[in-house]
């Protein structure tokens, strides 16, 4: 799995950070998403899929291969 984020679509809601803090963080300046772990280990992948699904800005993309 490879994760990517589009900061231009992020509305700084923070759901992704709440869901998977190992993978996502937020800028201290404006709250925009920061990608910490673009290649998450197997045990985090389900939570990453959930974070992508609930992101209100649809700013998280997941490539499964």
Where on the chain is the footprint of ligand SF4 (CB under 6 A)? 5, 10-16, 24, 26, 33, 55-57, 59-60
Distance in Å, CB of 64 to ligand SF4, minimum = 19
- Give min distance, CB of 40 to ligand SF4, in A: 15
Which residues partner with 35 through β-bridges?
24
What b/e readout covers 14-41, taking b as 16+ CB neighbours within 10 angstroms? ebbbebbeebbebeeeeebbeeeeeebe
Cβ distance to ligand SF4 smaller for residue 1 or 14: 14
Four-residue CA torsion sign, 27, 3, 10, 14 = negative
Measured from the CB atom, is 5 or 48 closer to ligand SF4?
A: 5
Minimum gap (Å) between residue 53 Cβ and ligand SF4: 10
């Amino acid at each position: 799995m490879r994760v990517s984020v589009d900061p231009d679509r992020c509305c700084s809601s923070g759901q992704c950070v709440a869901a998977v803090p190992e993978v996502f963080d937020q800028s201290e300046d404006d709250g925009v998403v920061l990608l910490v772990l673009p290649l998450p280990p197997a045990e985090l992948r389900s939570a990453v899929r959930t974070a992508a699904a609930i992101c209100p800005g649809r700013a998280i993309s997941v490539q499964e291969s």
